[in-house]
Structures are given as C-alpha cells and as structure tokens.
Amino acid sequence: MTASELLQTRDQLHTEFDQDGYVSIPGFFDPDEIEAIRENNERYIRDIVPKMPETEVYYDDKDDPDTLKQLQNMGKHDPFFGSLLEADSKLSQLAEACLGEAVEARNLQYFNKSPKVSTPTPPHQDGYYFHLTPNLAVTMWIALEDVTPEQGCVNYVRGSHRYGMRAHGKSGTLGFSQGILDFGIPNDLENQQSFPCQAGHVLAHHSFVIHWADANTSGDKSRQALGAVYFAERCEIDQSARAAYQARLDAELKSAGKI
C-alpha cells in the first residue's frame, strides 16, 4: 500500500478498526520494501543483537542462537528501524488512521517462532502490559515471511476490544508472561479469526483486542515478524507501575536462567 493509498483509505481503516478491533492489510509493504526490512533484520541480528542488553533479547534456548525468539526496542538501537517508526512513516500513518488521533511510537519488537523450539503465544491483550490511561494503543504485526497456520499465525477475537480488560495471570511463556485466565468463553470461541498471511502483510490491532498464536509445528520453517507499537499521544503512562512490572519480570527471568 502506498502512502497516498493509505491517506485515501484513512476513514475506511478507522471504521473497520473501530468495528473489529483490527485491520488486515495484505501487501502493506511491497516486495522491495519487505526485502529491505528482511535484509536489515538479518544485519541487525548479526551486528546489533550481541551488543544489546540481555533484558531485551530472548532465546528459547539461551545456548542456541538459532532459537532467537524476541527483541525489544529495535528502533532505539538502529537508525534503519528507527526510521520505520518515525512520524510520517507508513507505520505511523497507519497507526494514526486506526486510532483516529495523534500517536507516539513506543517500541519495535522482533517475534520469531523457531522450528527447533517453539511455544504458543498465549491469548492476551497488549494493553495489560502497557499501563495506560486511557488504554488506547495499536500494535502493527508485520509478516517478514509467508506464515501458515502450522508456523503459528496470529488469531484474533473479533470485536473483543469493546469489552475492556480481562483478568490476566502468569502464562509461563517467555516474552508473553501474562495470559487471559478465562479464555474460551462463548464470545471468544464464536468470534475467532485466523490470519495466515504473506510477507509484507500487516495486521494492526487495538490494545484491548484478544489475540494469540499457536506454536510453530512446521518442522523446518521460521516464523518471523516485527511488532510496531504506538500509543495515543494523549495517554498517561503509569511509569512506576511499568518499571515495577519490568523489574519483577527481569529478576524472575534472570533467576530462572532464561536471560
């Protein structure tokens, strides 16, 4: 999708996002754009990851680099990824179109499910991790490669952003420490939508939308994606709650030998 197509479809995107809690845009990044992102991602993993703080790099198996699972704050560590997020970038414009108001970039994450070791992403709402008032944010999930259900595609509960925050508890999953405790009520089951997709496809979801992904059972393929997070500019962040949560998590992961 070009920047001008994005501008032309702003209202439609906002209406759809309001109604379903997400939008799904095949080909948001064209093949050349996604190839450039993939090449820079490889460079980033090779050159930047070794210099990153251990609290921002998760491996399914810390002793096996092939099991790299998640990275945080890529935009802060590298100008290429910083430019993907900056004001007026396509992602920033999409975030603004979805929420219908001014946004601020917060994080760029890498999400992989290695074929060697892979765990499901538990059903959760991103807003649980964000500590925002109002809880208004959007995550854009960017497929770096084609993703089938066997590789662990993203699934949503359509319309779930309208019912507020569900109770979360420890999931035991590295990188997604919290999951919805009572997931599977009739509304969850009746409104599930799965999104197998092709490289360059972008899914943008509201901070209250329930989503999850299965483990990668493909046997030989990775499942690589980026997640770009924007908060509505007017949100207040409870910095002390965020910092306390992060400190607790880092200490738990450290004592369990995960980081």
Smallest separation, CB 152 to ligand AKG (Å): 6
Task: Rule CB under 6 A: choose which of 151, 227, 230, 235 binds ligand AKG.
Answer: 227
* Best CA proximity match to 112, nearest among 12, 185, 24, 218: 218
Q: Is the peptide bond before 134 cis (omega within 30 degrees of 0)?
A: yes
Residue list 192-221, contact with ligand AKG (CB under 6 A)? 211, 213
Smallest separation, CB 126 to ligand AKG (Å): 5
- Report the residue number, 1 or 147, with the smaller CB distance to ligand AKG: 147
Smallest separation, CB 141 to ligand AKG (Å): 4
- Report the residue number, 58 or 111, with the smaller CB distance to ligand AKG: 111
Number of residues that bind ligand AKG (CB under 6 A): 10
- Report the residue number, 225 or 232, with the smaller CB distance to ligand AKG: 225
Quote the Cα angle for 166-180-107, to 5°.
Answer: 90
- Report the residue number, 47 or 166, with the smaller CB distance to ligand AKG: 166
Using rule CB under 6 A, residue 21 touches ligand AKG:
no
Smallest separation, CB 95 to ligand AKG (Å): 13
- Report the residue number, 96 or 179, with the smaller CB distance to ligand AKG: 179
- Report the residue number, 141 or 231, with the smaller CB distance to ligand AKG: 141
* Best CA proximity match to 32, nearest among 196, 224, 200: 200
Smallest separation, CB 174 to ligand AKG (Å): 12
Smallest separation, CB 120 to ligand AKG (Å): 8
- Report the residue number, 229 or 259, with the smaller CB distance to ligand AKG: 229
Smallest separation, CB 8 to ligand AKG (Å): 26
Which residue's entry shows tokens 């396509």? 90
Using rule CB under 6 A, residue 225 touches ligand AKG:
yes
Residue list 119-178, contact with ligand AKG (CB under 6 A)? 121, 126, 139, 141, 154
| Whole-number Å distance between alpha carbons of 175 and 171 | 10
Using rule CB under 6 A, residue 111 touches ligand AKG:
yes
Contact residues toward ligand AKG (CB under 6 A) are 111, 121, 126, 139, 141, 154, 211, 213, 225, 227
